[in-house]
Amino acid sequence: GVKTLPADILRSQICSNDDLSFLMEVHDGLSGAIAQRVGFKALWASGLSIASSLGYRDANEASWSQLVDVVERIVDSTELPVLVDGDSGFGNFNNARLLARKLRQRGAAGLAMQDSCFPKMNSFVGERHAIADIKEFSGRLRAVRDTVGQDLVLVARIEALIAGRPMEEAVSRAHAYANAGADAILIHSRKSTAEEILEFASAWQNRLPIVIIPTKYYQTPVSAYRDARISTVIWANHSMRAAIVAMRRVCGRIMAREGIASIEPHIATLDEVFNLLGYDELVRAEARYLPPD
Ligand code: SPV
Ligand code: MG
């Protein structure tokens, strides 16, 4: 039969009105395999988490080619569609369309691109968040759309509220980005409540589906988002942050006790590792392709 494109699967999740979708953060092949096993239906290749796992800051220190290499490992390790955090597209329209083309080649399902200037800074760090001109960023979106067509879901991310701009500007940017060909609008907020997100949602009236990242307003129950008819929630960095705590605890204990006996029950077994990465398939393939002893 005809193979369904990853973008079509992702689009059916992000662009369905009556069902809230969830994207789980991943930053490498292993975290991708774990998210799939627990039952997530789609993944968020987080810029912050990928940068952190590489030892970079989330300020465009990792290059676009490093990003697409990580995305390839994520795509290969799961069957799930991957929405890639493409930051601001690594430059102008030309860099953005090159990134989109490479992400399509590596099997990504979607590209989220934010209206920041290059280099971006993580939305929760500092007060300097230079925002792109509306027309210039719209051109970046159009260039991506013209280059990859419907082969990637294109999510336009608005950083106006992060930069302290008024709600009216966030809404007018959403209109411009919808006209430029976005499939969905990601509205970001650094507030500790969902207030401004819900205000945006009521002003926007679902002209395009809304995607949110409730990292700072984590106390709000998702029922509020269902009520506001928000389409997609991204759990943006929680595997990476969980890994920091787990690795620190284990490293610390091994260091202090000069031994590993006490941590053995608290870490994944080797069988779990082999299971997650499909070693059983390799055993079957050996039986099939290697000459018998
Ligand atoms: C990311 O996960 O890299 C994001 C979300 O872009 S945030 O860190 O909230 O900006
Ligand atoms: Mg990011």
59 & 194 share domain: yes
**Mean pLDDT of the 171-188 span:** 98
Quote the CA–CA distance of 41 and 200 in Å, as a whole number: 26
95 & 183 share domain: yes
Number of domains comprising the chain: 2
215 lines ligand 1 (CB under 6 A): yes
**Mean pLDDT of the 242-254 span:** 98
Ligand 1 atom closest to residue 51's alpha carbon, by position in its atom list? 3
Q: Which helix (H) or strand (E) holds 186?
A: strand 184-187
Q: Nearest Cα to 121, choosing from 28, 183, 42, 59?
A: 59
79 & 156 share domain: yes
Quote the CA–CA distance of 96 and 158 in Å, as a whole number: 16
Q: Residue 157: pLDDT above 80?
A: yes
160 & 77 share domain: yes
pTM of the model: 0.97
**pLDDT value for 3:** 75
165 & 249 share domain: no
The 3-state secondary structure of 192-225 reads CCCHHHHHHHHHHCCCCCEEECCCCCCCCCHHHH
Q: What CATH number does the domain containing 14 carry?
A: 3.20.20.60
Range of the structural domain that residue 248 is part of: 244-289
What are the residues facing 187 on neighbouring strands? 158
Residue of 26, 27, 44, 46 best suited for mutating to test ligand 1, as the one with most atoms within 8 Å of CB: 46
Q: Is 29 helix (H, G, I), strand (E, B) or coil?
A: helix
Return the minimum-mean-pLDDT range out of 12-21, 143-152, 160-169: 12-21
**Mean pLDDT of the 90-94 span:** 98
**Mean pLDDT of the 116-137 span:** 95
Ligand 2 center–CA 234 separation, angstroms: 11
Q: Is 114 helix (H, G, I), strand (E, B) or coil?
A: strand
**pLDDT value for 195:** 97
Across the chain, mean pLDDT equals 96
225 & 264 share domain: no
60 lines ligand 1 (CB under 6 A): no
145 & 193 share domain: yes
**pLDDT value for 1:** 60
Residue 175 lies in a domain: yes
Residue 1 lies in a domain: no
222 & 261 share domain: no
Quote the CA–CA distance of 227 and 194 in Å, as a whole number: 13
266 & 163 share domain: no
Q: Residue 266: pLDDT above 70?
A: yes
Residue 136 lies in a domain: yes
**Mean pLDDT of the 142-165 span:** 98
Quote the CA–CA distance of 217 and 131 in Å, as a whole number: 22
Residue nearest to atom 7 of ligand 1 (CA): 123
Half-sphere exposure of 217 (CA within 13 A, CB side): 21
273 & 166 share domain: no
87 lines ligand 1 (CB under 6 A): no
Q: Which helix (H) or strand (E) holds 243?
A: helix 238-257
**Mean pLDDT of the 213-240 span:** 97
Residue 249 lies in a domain: yes
State the catalytic residues.
Answer: 58
Q: Is 21 helix (H, G, I), strand (E, B) or coil?
A: strand
137 & 279 share domain: no
Residue 70, phi then psi, degrees to nearest 5: -65, -40
What are the residues facing 21 on neighbouring strands? 232
Q: Residue 58: pLDDT above 80?
A: yes
**Mean pLDDT of the 216-225 span:** 97
Ligand 1 center–CA 271 separation, angstroms: 33
**pLDDT value for 17:** 65
Residue of 50, 85, 161 best suited for mutating to test ligand 1, as the one with most atoms within 8 Å of CB: 85
ipTM (interface predicted TM): 0.97
183 & 272 share domain: no
